[in-house]
């Protein structure tokens, strides 16, 4: 979507194209970062289905492939829901900038 | 075409039946109850295809209207006074989303103290929410304005919600002879509803009503203000077209014996009828009195009013509502501001009158014209803002 549109360029009636949330990089908000450990992952998709930001990435074979850090807000639900015995396949770390 | 005896509420409900909207979501409130009550009977009798949503409050009514309109439906509702106030959180959202909802509004005093009778304070309180506001003088106009409101609101240049109003009890409950159009004529007149955006359109998915902060809110408000600018030309076009088709033309304002008038009365709604009778009387006596009726208050027809009053020496601006603290009522502040740069301009007096349904009689209007005659002859204003008809202590 074009940036800084003037009022004449806006879509009718406060509408936007669908799916613009993708352009909004909510990863900036993160104070904790989930780390995915491939060797521990059992591909149960608990993290994938529970993630509120659709930030669990899948590869072309529909296997878990990592975290979309551009959009992950670091809520930690994935780490909490991971059913693997400790240490889990997703763990949380403090975000450092 | 049929000639029928109908109250203002019946006239509006009849117009709604003939419009046959997709969705009506409403909650009853005096004196507008009958509008949606009669309409709900039409629904129950299978005379319309409307989905009637009986909600638990006016806040929910307007919310359901917004939802249905966002889905791409032609939507109508009706309310009054406190009901309009309860809707008021949602009213400007309908404007921002540019949803052409049509509201049959019956003007009634605002609480408190609690009162059910006519004044314009409810409608005036929501005047800056980007809704087109049309005032009716009688039941015929209530019918005609409801039909035109659909054409105005849905015009592609506009797409703004519109309220057609009547005066509580004075119009809403008084039976008058009105002329209605045939069902098929109305069907052809309002036409098929044209959807612009629909949240249910999977071929053109949209996001509606997203958070709009420092970077875009202002631009969206500008688009709303611009739509309101176009509203005037659309309302005039629709009014002329209505006249061509059905013999009753409408404009933003209407003058009655105003062309050569030295003194004028400016009013909205049912008071205009009373004023006409007094003007006829005065004209017979050789007094050059006239009426300026404001049919559309939003968008405010400033240029048109300035032009209409340009030759008048003194004018009474009638406000059936009060601001309690501004420099006069809502109509007066607008008109006085509009006339600031005009030259010559009439001497203006503001009469705040008829609050809570206090009667405005022929004799009252005679008194007001007599005072205006004195002002016109002497060239001197008296009390500029008057609370007319209130019992004053010594």
| B97–A contact, CB cutoff 8 A | yes
Interface A-B: count of C-beta contacts within 8 A: 56
Are the beta carbons of B266 and B332 closer than 8 angstroms?
Answer: no
B293-345 pLDDT, tens digit each: 999 999 999 999 999 999 999 999 999 999 999 999 999 999 999 999 999 99
A19-78 pLDDT, tens digit each: 888 888 999 999 999 999 999 999 999 999 999 999 999 999 999 999 999 999 999 999
At a CB cut-off of 8 Å and minimum separation 6, what does B44 contact?
Answer: none
Residue spans of the domains in chain B: they are 2-246, 253-387
Of A4, A10, A20, the CB nearest to B223: A10
In a 3-state reduction of DSSP, which class is residue B337? helix
Check A12 against B196: CB less than 8 A apart.
Answer: yes
**How is residue A21 written in tokens?**
């949330």
pLDDT at B209 over 90: no
B135-191 pLDDT, tens digit each: 999 999 999 999 999 999 999 999 999 999 999 999 999 999 999 999 999 999 999
The nearest alpha carbon in chain A to B224 belongs to: A13
Which of B93, B74, B60 has its CA nearest to residue B24? B74
A40, B7, B33, B44, B53 from B38: Cα distances, Å: 68, 12, 8, 10, 14
pLDDT at A97 over 80: no
**Given this structure, which CATH class describes domain B2-246?**
alpha beta
Sign of CA dihedral B274, B253, B180, B73: negative
Element (H, E) at B170: none
Backbone angles phi, psi at B225, to 5 degrees: -65, -40
B104-135 pLDDT, tens digit each: 999 999 999 999 999 999 999 999 999 999 99
Q: Give, as one character, the DSSP assignment of residue B282.
A: H
> Domains, chain A, ranges and CATH?
26-94 (3.30.70.20)
Distance, in angstroms, between B230 CA and closest chain A CA?
14
Q: Does domain B253-387 fall into CATH 3.40.50.920?
A: yes
Task: Tell me the ipTM for this assembly.
Answer: 0.85
Are the beta carbons of B347 and B381 closer than 8 angstroms?
Answer: yes
Check B98 against A6: CB less than 8 A apart.
Answer: no
Which of B239, B53, B67 has its CA nearest to residue B136? B239
**Is it true that B2-246 and B253-387 share their CATH fold?**
yes
């Amino acid at each position: 979507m074009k940036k800084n549109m003037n009022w004449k360029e806006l879509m009718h009636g406060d509408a936007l194209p669908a799916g613009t949330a993708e352009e909004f990089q909510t990863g900036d908000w993160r104070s904790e970062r989930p780390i995915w450990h491939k060797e521990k992952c059992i591909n149960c998709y608990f993290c994938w289905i529970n993630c509120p930001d659709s930030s669990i990435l899948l590869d072309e074979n529909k296997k878990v492939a990592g975290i979309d850090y551009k959009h992950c807000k670091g809520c930690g639900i994935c780490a909490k829901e991971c059913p693997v015995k400790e240490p889990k396949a997703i763990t949380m770390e403090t975000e450092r900038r | 075409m049929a000639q029928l005896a109908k109250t203002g509420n019946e006239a509006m409900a009849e117009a709604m039946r003939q419009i046959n909207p997709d969705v009506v979501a409403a909650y009853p409130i005096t004196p507008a109850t009958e509008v949606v009550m009669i309409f709900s009977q039409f629904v129950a009798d299978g005379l319309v295809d409307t989905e009637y949503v009986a909600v638990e409050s006016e806040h929910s009514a307007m919310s359901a209207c917004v939802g249905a309109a966002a889905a791409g439906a032609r939507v109508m509702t009706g309310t009054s006074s406190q009901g309009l106030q309860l809707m008021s959180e949602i009213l400007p959202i309908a404007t921002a989303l540019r949803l052409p909802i049509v509201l049959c509004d019956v003007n009634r005093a605002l609480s408190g103290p609690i009162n059910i009778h006519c004044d314009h304070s409810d409608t005036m309180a929501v005047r800056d929410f980007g809704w087109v506001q049309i005032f009716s003088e009688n039941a015929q106009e209530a019918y005609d304005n409801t039909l035109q409101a659909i054409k105005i609101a849905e015009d592609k240049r506009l797409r703004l919600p519109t309220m057609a109003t009547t005066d509580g009890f004075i119009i809403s409950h008084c039976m008058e002879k009105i002329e209605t159009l045939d069902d098929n004529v109305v069907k052809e007149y309002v036409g098929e509803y044209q959807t612009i955006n629909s949240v249910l359109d999977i071929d053109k998915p949209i996001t509606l009503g997203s958070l709009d902060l420092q970077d875009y809110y202002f631009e969206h408000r500008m688009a709303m203000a611009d739509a309101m600018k176009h509203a005037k030309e659309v309302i005039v076009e629709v009014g002329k077209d209505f006249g061509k088709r059905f013999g009753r033309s409408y404009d933003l304002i209407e003058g009655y014996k105003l062309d050569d008038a030295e003194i004028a009365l400016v009013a909205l709604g049912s008071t205009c009828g009373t004023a006409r009778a007094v003007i006829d009387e005065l004209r017979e006596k050789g007094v050059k009195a006239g009426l300026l009726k404001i049919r559309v208050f939003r968008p405010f027809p400033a240029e048109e009013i300035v032009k209409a009053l340009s030759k008048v020496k003194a004018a009474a601006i009638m406000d059936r509502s009060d601001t309690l603290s501004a420099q006069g009522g809502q109509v007066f502040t607008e008109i006085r501001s509009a006339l600031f740069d005009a030259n010559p301009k009439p001497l203006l007096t503001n009469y705040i009158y008829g609050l809570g349904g206090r009667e405005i009689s022929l004799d009252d209007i005679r008194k007001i014209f007599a005072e205006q005659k004195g002002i016109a002859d002497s060239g001197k204003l008296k009390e500029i803002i008057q609370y007319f008809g209130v019992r004053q202590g010594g």
